[in-house]
Amino acid sequence: MTATTPHTRSIPADWRDFFALTKPRVMSLVIFTGLCGLLAAPGAIHPVIGFTAVLCIALGAGGAATLNQWWEADLDAGMKRTARRPLPSGRLNRTDARDFGIALSVGSVLLMGLAVNWLAAAILFFSIIYYAVIYTIWLKPRTPQNIVIGGGAGAFPPMIGWVAVTGDVTLMPVILFAIIFFWTPPHFWALALFVQSDYAKVGIPMMPVVKGERSTRRQILVYSLLLLPLALAPWLIGGTGLLYGIAAAVLTAVFVALSLPVAFRTAVADDRMLPEKRLFGYSVLYLFALFAALVADRMAQTQGWLG
């Protein structure tokens, strides 16, 4: 895994390859949580400024994802799940990807600072560095805690959205950060359990590879249980109404329920890993629904829908 091995086959790239570098499917949830942070924050923001803030989160996240793939092109080439990405497949050359990633990252931070506010820009800058450097270059190849610590990068967008509106960091955006931080390990380890042979092949010390399946399964349950108080915290501190409280309780109870069969089973040969796949799929739906509930609750309160 180095940043120096060239992938310079010059098949003409088109815009779709550049778009793919931004990991659009994964980033859709990153952008959504950023938007929800913005919509749930107290106070008003001009719609054009609000749109710009979300655009900057999207561009920054895309830039960081691009730099992640620029650095990991060799690793991605060795894994079935990632081998068809634009760099390992040779559809894009590596220097172009690096320049694209830097342009998106720098552009998004500058635009955020100039058009929205500099605190939001500073947090965006830090989250890009967190994902592209701290997680990708430093933690991922070194420790099975890579996801736990590295998960911080993906937890910033709602805080950025919130700060875009309020200009300061209060308890609520910290709680929103914590929810995604503790959601990330079960989200990713559920997937790592069914693609772990890929990671082992390229020497990435993901938890199931290093500590074994049993330990990973138990840790998934621990983080899922931690989500219960955390997801309820916005309601418990009086930051939301009952609508969010009920949604958080139900959604998180299902999360824990789906973690239980993952925690207490031993995989068998030729296993289709259905509980793990189910938990991974639900983890994505969960975060979409939880953040949607946060916004619905705020709308209900400001519009007086619940009387």
Ligand X SMILES: CC(C)=CCC/C(C)=C/CC/C(C)=C/COP(=O)(O)OP(=O)(O)O
> If you ran DSSP here, which 8-state letter would residue 303 be given?
H
Binding to ligand HEM by CB under 6 A, coded x per residue (else -) over 250-289, reads ----------------------------------x--x--
Task: Quote the least distance from Cβ 15 to ligand X, whole Å.
Answer: 21
Q: How many residues bind ligand HEM (CB under 6 A)?
A: 19
The piece of 58-66, 92-100, 167-175, 282-290 that touches ligand X (CB under 6 A) is 58-66
CA distance 36 to 247: 15
* The binder of ligand HEM chosen from 52, 66, 108, 184 (CB under 6 A): 184
Residue 284: name the closest of 154, 183, 216, 179 by CA: 183
CA 205, 206, 209, 210 dihedral sign is: positive
What value, to the nearest 5°, has the Cα angle with vertex 157 and ends 236 and 94? 155
Positive or negative, the Cα torsion across 8, 150, 110, 32?
Answer: positive
Report what 128 binds from ligand HEM, ligand X, none; CB cut-off 5-8 Å by kind: ligand X
CA–CA gap between residue 194 and residue 192 (Å, rounded): 5
Smallest gap from Cβ 119 to ligand HEM, in A, equals 21
Degrees, nearest 5: CA angle 297-40-234: 65
Nearest residue to 125 (alpha-carbon basis) of 112, 114, 135: 112
Minimum Å gap between C-beta 302 and ligand X is 27
Tell me the two tokens of residue 36: 């929800």
The interface partner of residue 164, options being ligand HEM, ligand X, none and the CB cut-off 5 to 8 Å by kind, is none
Asked if 187 is part of the footprint of ligand X (rule: CB under 6 A), the reply reads: no
Of the pair 126, 249, the CB lying nearest ligand X is at 126
Query: Least separation, in Å, of the C-beta of 204 and ligand X?
Result: 8
Q: Is 154 in the site for ligand HEM (CB under 6 A)?
A: yes
> Which residues of this protein are in contact with ligand HEM, per CB under 6 A?
23, 25-26, 28-30, 33, 81, 147, 150-151, 154, 180, 184, 187-188, 191, 284, 287
